[in-house]
Chains A and B, each alone.
Chain A
Amino acid sequence: MTSDLTSFAALAPAYPELLLAVGAVVLLLAGVLFSRERSTGLALISIVLLIAVIAVALWQPAEGTLFNGGFIVDGFARYMKLLVLGGSAVTLILSTSAAKPFGLDKFEYSILVLLATLGMMVMVSANDLMSLYVSLELQSLALYVVAALKRDDSRATEAGLKYFVLGALASGLLLYGASLVYGFTGLTQLDQIVGAIAGEHRSIGLIFGMVFLLAGIAFKISAVPFHMWTPDVYEGAPTPVTAFFSTAPKVAAMALIIRVVTVSFGPITHDWQQIVVFLSIASMVLAAFAAIGQNNLKRLLAYSSIGHVGFALVGLSAGTAVGVEGVAIYLAIYITMNIGFFAVLLSLRTADGAYVETIPQLAGLAQKRPFVAAIMAVVMFSFIGLPPLAGFFAKWQVFLAAIDAHLFALAIIGVLASAVSAFYYLRIVKVMYFDEATTEFEAAPAELTAVMAVTGFLLVTYFVTVGAPLYNAAHAAAGSLF
C-alpha cells in the first residue's frame, strides 16, 4: 500500500484544498477563542483566505491524481475550482453588509461557507465514487446548516429542514446508484469504470446504477423533476445565503455531473444522453412557465436558476468537447449574472431596514436609483440572452454544441423556452422603468456598488474584454476530459 503522504511536495496538486482546510480550522479556533461577538473581522479574514486560495490555485501548475486515484487535478478541475472559489468569495463580500439584518452575524457563517467551499473543491476534483460522496456530503451538510442559520426565523428553519430532508433523499438515491455501479463493475474509480464498460457488454444493472447516480446529482443541480426544493429553499433562506446557494454549489454539482458522464460513462453516451436531454427540456420548459406567476424575487430567481441549469444541460447533452466547453462558459456567465442580481437585491434597503423581496417593491427604481436599476436591467437582458450581453454568448455556445450534435429538437425547444422566459425578466424591467415610484431606499454600501459595477461591466463588454480568455480557458478545460 503506497501513501501520498511521503512528502509535502508530493501533495502539490492539493495545495489549494489543504490551505483552505487548514485555514478554515484555524479560523474556527480563532472564532471560538476570540470573536464570539466580532464576526465581521473573521468574515473579512475568510474573504482574504479565499482570495489566497484562488492565488494558490492559479499559480500552482501541478496536475495529476493523488490519494490512489481518488482525487484528480486537471484543466477541467482547475477551471471549475476557480469559478467555485470566485463565487464563494464574492458571496461572502456581498454578505458583509447584510450579515446583521439577516441574522448571519455569527462567526460560524463564514466558517461554514469555507467548509462548504472545501467540499465543492473536492467535488470538482473527485475521481472516485467514495470521494465523490464524501465531498458531496461535506458540501451539502454545510449548506443545510447555513440555510437554517437564522434559527429564530420560521421561514429559514423551514428552508433548512426541507433542504436537509430532500437532500438526504437525494444522497440516498446517489448512494444506491453508486453501490449498483460498484456491484456491477467492482470498481469505484471513475476513470476505471469506463474500462469495465468498454471491455464487455454493458449490463442492465450498470445502467440502473447510472440512472440513480444521475438522479442524485440532478437533485443537487435542481434539474426538473428533482427541483421541488429549490423555490422554497431559495425563498426561505436569508438573501445572502440564497446568493451563495445559486452560485458556487451549482457550479460544483454541474462539474460533478459532467465528470461522471463524460469520464465514466463515455462509451454509453447514448444511454445518458436521453436522461440529460429530458432533464434539460423539462427544466427549461417548467422554469419558463412556472416563473411567470411569481411575485417574490428570490422565488423568481429560483425558477430562473432551474431554467439556466436546463440551458447548461443542453450543452452537456451534446456529449462532445464543444458541449462541455459551452457548459463551462455558461456556468461562468451564469454565476456572474446571479452575483449581479443579488448585489442589486442586497443594495435595496428601505428606510425601516427591510430588504426588497417582491417585484412591486421595485416600482420606479429607475428614478430613485438609476445606477442600480440599470445594473438590474443589464442582468435581466443578459438572463434573457440578448446580444451583445454575456448571456447571449452563453446560450449561443450551448445551442451551437447541440446543433453540432444534431439535437435540433432540443435546440428549438430551448430557444422557445428562452423566448417565454423573456416575459418575466422584461416584467421586472418594466416595473423598474415605467411604474410609479413608491418606496425610498437607503444608499448602498460601497462594496456592493463595486460588485454591481464590475458585474455590469463584464456583462456588457463580455465580447471585447473577457470573452476570448474565457473561451480559451473553457476550451482547455473541456479538452482535458476528452
Chain B
Amino acid sequence: MTLALFFFYVFSIIAVASALMVIASRNPVHSVLFLILVFVNAAGLFMLAGAEFLALILIVVYVGAVAVLFLFVTMMLDVDFASLRQGMLQYAPVGVVVGVILLLELLLVGGSFVMAPQVSGASAVPIDHAVDNTRALGQVIYTRYVFLFQGAGAVLLVAMVGAIVLTLQHKANVKRQNIAHQTQRTRAEATELVKVKSGQGV
C-alpha cells in the first residue's frame, strides 16, 4: 500500500464518518463542527487528486467563511433541532430509497460518460499537464480572462451595493460614543454633591 493510497483511505473514511455525524449528532453546534471536518478531509482528497488550488480554496472559503457563518447562525437563531428531527426514523426508508436511486444514477452516468474527442483539443485553454493548476490558473486569469475577472468583480460590487442599500438602516436618534467629548468632561459637569438628610433618602 502506497502512502498516497493510505492517505486516501484515511481522508475518505474520516470524511464519510463525519458526514454521518453531521446528521446524527444531537447538538447542532457539533453538527457544524463535523461539517468543517468533512470540508477539511475533502480538501485533503482534492490535494491527493492534484487539485491543490481547489483544496486551498475549499479551506479558505468553506471552512474559513461559510462554516463559521453557519456556526454563528446556528448559535444565534436557537432553532429547536430536536423537534425538527422528530419522525426522522419514519421518513428514513423513503430517504434511503431516494439515496439509492441517486447513487445508481450517478454510477450509470459516471460509468458511461465519455468526453467527445474533439472537445478537449478545441477548448480555448487546453490543459497542460506539465504545470500545476494554481500556476496554470495564474497564467490565464489576469491575462486571457482579465476581462471576465474584472466583470465578475463588477458583479460583486453591485451585489455589495445592493445588499447595503436594501438593508442598511439609518436610525435617527442612536447614541454613539464620542471619545473626545468623553475625555473633555470635567468633574464639575459630571458629578453633583447633594446634601441628604439622614433618614430621608434622595
B138-169 toward A: CB 8 Å interface, digit per residue (1/0)? Answer: 01101111111001101101110110111000
Question: For the complex, is B124 an interface residue (Cβ under 8 Å from A)?
Answer: yes
Chain A residues near B162 (CB-CB < 8 A): 112, 141-142, 144-145
Task: Specify which chain B residues have a CB less than 8 angstroms from the CB of A71 in the assembled complex.
Answer: 147
**Among the listed B143, B165, B170, which residue makes an inter-chain contact with A145, where contact means beta carbons less than 8 Å apart?**
B165
Q: A187 near B: Cβ within 8 Å?
A: yes
Cα A4 to Cα B170 in complex, Å, equals 44
CA–CA, A66 and B157, complex, Å: 23
Q: Which of B122, B142, B155 contacts A185, CB < 8 Å? A: B122
Q: Check B147–A186 contact: CB distance below 8 A.
A: no
The residue on B at minimum CB distance from A36 is: B170
A186 to B165, Cβ gap below 8 A? Answer: no
Residues from 144 to 201 in A contacting B, C-beta threshold 8 Å: 144-145, 148-149, 151, 183-189, 196
A134 near B148 with CB under 8 A, answer: yes
Residues of chain B contacted by A148 (CB below 8 angstroms): 166
Q: Say if the beta carbon of B191 comes within 8 Å of chain A.
A: no
Assembly CA distance A183 to B122 (angstroms): 11
Interface string of A102-145 (1 = CB under 8 A from B): 00001010011001001100100000001100110110011011
Q: State whether B155 touches A137 (Cβ < 8 A).
A: yes
Smallest CB–CB gap between B42 and chain A, Å?
24
Q: What are 24 A-to-B residue pairs whose CB atoms are below 8 Å?
A: A1-B139, A25-B157, A68-B145, A70-B145, A70-B147, A70-B148, A71-B147, A108-B164, A115-B154, A115-B157, A115-B158, A131-B151, A135-B151, A138-B158, A141-B159, A142-B158, A145-B158, A145-B166, A149-B165, A149-B166, A186-B116, A186-B118, A186-B121, A187-B124
Q: Does A21 contact B (CB under 8 A)?
A: yes
- B122: chain A residues within 8 A (beta carbon): 185-187, 196
Nearest-neighbour CB distance to chain A for B191, whole angstroms, equals: 38
CA A145 – CA B142 in complex, angstroms?
A: 29
Interface presence of A28 (CB below 8 A): yes
The yes or no answer to A7 lying at the interface (CB within 8 A) is no
**B161 near A186: Cβ-Cβ < 8 Å:** no
Please indicate the chain B residues that have their CB under 8 angstroms from the CB of A67 in the complex.
Answer: 144, 146-148
Residue ID in chain B nearest A137 by CB atoms: B155
Hey, which bits of chain A sit against chain B, CB under 8 A? 1-5, 21, 25, 28, 36, 66-68, 70-71, 106, 108, 111-112, 115, 118-119, 122, 130-131, 134-135, 137-138, 141-142, 144-145, 148-149, 151, 183-189, 196
A151 CB contacts on chain B under 8 angstroms: 166
Q: Which chain B residue lies CB-closest to A115?
A: B158
Q: How far is the CA of A36 from the CA of B164 in the complex (A)?
A: 13
From known contacts A115-B158, A187-B122, infer whether A3 and B166 are also in contact, taking CB-CB under 8 Å.
Answer: no
User: Which of A4, A68, A70, A112 is B161 in contact with, Cβ under 8 Å?
Assistant: A112
The answer to whether A145 and B161 touch (CB under 8 A), given A3-B144, A3-B146, A184-B116, is yes
Q: Which of B18-52 contact A (CB under 8 A)?
A: none
Most chain A CB within a 10 A radius of its CB, from B145, B155, B164: B155
Q: In the complex, A1 Cα to B162 Cα: how many Å? A: 35
* Known contacts A115-B154, A144-B162, A145-B162; A1 and B119 CB within 8 A of each other: no
- Complex CA–CA separation, A149 to B148 (angstroms): 27
Asked if B143 and A189 sit within 8 Å, CB to CB, the answer is: no
A138 touches B124 (CB 8 A): no
Q: B157 — which chain A residues lie within 8 A by C-beta?
A: 25, 28, 115
A115 to B159, CA, bound (A): 11
Are A138 and B151 in contact, CB atoms less than 8 angstroms apart?
yes
Closest-by-CB residue of B relative to A188 is: B124
Q: Which residues of B contact A138 (CB under 8 A)?
A: 151, 154-155, 158
Greatest chain B CB density within 10 A among A66, A122, A141 is at A141
Which residue on chain B has the smallest CB distance to residue A31? B161
- Closest B residue to A149 by CB, please name it: B165
Q: State whether A186 touches B158 (Cβ < 8 A).
A: no
List B108-137 residues whose CB lies under 8 Å from chain A.
116, 118-124
Residues in A neighbouring B121, C-beta threshold 8 A: 186
Does the CB pair A122–B151 fall under 8 Å? yes
Are A108 and B165 interface neighbours, CB within 8 A?
yes
Chain A residues within 8 Å of B166, by CB:
145, 148-149, 151
Q: State whether A186 touches B120 (Cβ < 8 A).
A: yes
User: Nearest Cβ distance between residue B164 and chain A, in whole angstroms?
Assistant: 8
Let me know if B154 and A68 touch, CB within 8 A: no
Tell me the minimal C-beta distance from B148 to chain A in angstroms: 5
In the assembled complex, the Cα of A189 lies from the Cα of B124 at a distance in Å of 9
Task: Considering the complex, give the chain B residue whose CB is closest to the CB of A186.
Answer: B122
Give the CA-CA distance A119 to B155 in the complex, in Å.
Answer: 9
The 3 closest A-B pairs by CB, nearest first: A186-B122, A145-B162, A67-B147
- Contact (Cβ within 8 A) A131 B148: yes
B169 shortest CB reach to chain A, Å: 10
Cα A149 to Cα B121 with chains together (Å)? 47
Within 8 A of A (CB), among B81-132: 116, 118-124
Q: Which A-chain residue is minimally distant from B139 (CB atoms)?
A: A1
- A268, chain B: closest CB distance, angstroms: 18
Q: Tell me which residues across on chain A come within 8 A of B152, comparing CB atoms.
A: 134
A134 contacts B151, C-beta separation under 8 Å: yes
Partner of B148, one of A118, A130, A196: A130
14 further A-B contacts with Cβ under 8 Å, apart from A3-B144, A134-B148, A145-B162, are: A3-B146, A28-B157, A28-B161, A66-B147, A67-B144, A70-B147, A122-B151, A130-B148, A138-B151, A141-B158, A141-B159, A183-B119, A184-B116, A186-B119
Cβ contacts under 8 Å, A111 to chain B = 161
Point out the residues of chain A lying under 8 angstroms from B116, CB to CB: 183-184, 186
